[in-house]
Amino acid sequence: MSSDLQQFPQMLTVAGIDSSGGAGINADVATAFAHHVYPATVVVAVTAQNTYGVQGATLLDTNIIEQQFASIADDLAIKAVKTGMLGDREHVEIVAAALAKYDLGPIIIDPVMVAKGGAKLLTDDAITAVKEKLLPLATLVTPNLLEAQQLTGITINTPADLAAAARALQALGAQNVLVKGGHGAGDELTDYVLLADQSAFTLVNPRLDTTRTHGTGDTYAAAIASNLALGHDLKTAITLAKDYLYATVANEIIVGHGHGPLNHWAKGE
């Protein structure tokens, strides 16, 4: 009986498709494969974009989104799930309801709001739904600095502000918090992690002089989800994901003419 066999590690990404292949579901699938994890996908949005920016976006009908969740939950053995671009309030609520309904393992919420080129990927009125419906389900939330400010109302200028914003995100219901520092100033980028047991640590790396950073946030969260699907604890999953992400930025590939995609093969194998 196949059900008696050990299932290959499986993760799920719930996000948008990027026609140019560098961000969203495309980045998540590439990241999962690089980790030898099998990726399933719930497509929420289809975007027309390239390395210059986002030219168009369509959110899918909510029925087909619910059906995708049901099809996957009926068959696969998902060990971790991550969300990315969800578009608007209605889609945030549909996704939150599905995440609450099915057991898909730890839930990583990447609260994607704005693309690198500046295009809005989440409507303003959806931010309340993210706070009220999604964050209480989050094993880990992974905002960048701007998203952390939007979600908490705290302006982040100092390390103390950063810690306060992370605590505020926990108060909103996220068990663990990773605030990404890619939008910070200076030669060093600092990610701040606050774990459920109230311990905190930072991950610091040099800022690489490159514009090829399309999909860094997606790749980071997908690598964390992949590591969790492989059985790592959360702290190890985050630390390994950060090493992987850095390698994907450091080992450039030349695709497109703007904010190019990452090198998801950077770690070899």
Residues lying near ligand MP5 in the complex (CB under 6 A):
15-16, 18, 23-24, 47, 84-85, 112, 115-116, 121, 214-218
Nearer to ligand ATP, 149 or 205 (CB): 205
- Residue 165 main-chain phi, psi, to 5 deg: -65, -40
Verify binding: residue 220, ligand ATP, rule CB under 6 A: yes
Supply the minimum distance, in Å, between the C-beta of residue 23 and ligand ATP: 6
Specify which residues 120 forms β-bridges with.
114
CA distances from 46 to 26, 51, 260 (A): 11, 16, 19
The binder of 106, among ligand MP5, ligand ATP, none, by C-beta within 5 to 8 A per type, is none
Nearer to ligand ATP, 106 or 215 (CB): 215
Verify binding: residue 174, ligand ATP, rule CB under 6 A: no
Interface segment toward ligand ATP; rule CB under 6 A; list 86-94, 127-135, 200-208, 224-232: 200-208
Verify binding: residue 259, ligand ATP, rule CB under 6 A: no
Q: Could you give the string, one character per residue 44-73, with x where binding to ligand ATP holds by CB under 6 A and - elsewhere?
A: ------------------------------
The binder of 84, among ligand ATP, ligand MP5, none, by C-beta within 5 to 8 A per type, is ligand MP5
Interface segment toward ligand ATP; rule CB under 6 A; list 126-134, 151-159, 181-189, 232-240: 181-189
Nearer to ligand ATP, 139 or 213 (CB): 213
Site for ligand ATP in 105-144 (CB under 6 A): 112, 116, 144
The binder of 207, among ligand MP5, ligand ATP, none, by C-beta within 5 to 8 A per type, is ligand ATP
- Check: CB of residue 19 under 8 Å from CB of residue 79: no
Question: Which residues, other chains included, contact 7 with Cβ-Cβ below 8 Å and sequence gap of 6+?
Answer: 77
Verify binding: residue 181, ligand ATP, rule CB under 6 A: yes
Give one DSSP letter per residue of 168-213, joined into a string. HHHHTT-SEEEEB-TT-SSSEEEEEEE-TTS-EEEEEEEPPS-S--
Specify which residues 8 forms β-bridges with.
none
Query: And the tokens for 177?
Result: 């918090």
- Selection from 92, 119, 117 nearest residue 257 by Cα: 117
Nearer to ligand ATP, 9 or 217 (CB): 217
Neighbours of 31 (CB within 10 A): 30
Give one DSSP letter per residue of 238-267, joined into a string. HHHHHHHHHHHHHS----SSSSPBP-TTTT
Q: Dmax of the chain from CA atoms?
A: 57
Tell which one of 217, 237, 241, 262 touches ligand ATP (CB under 6 A).
217
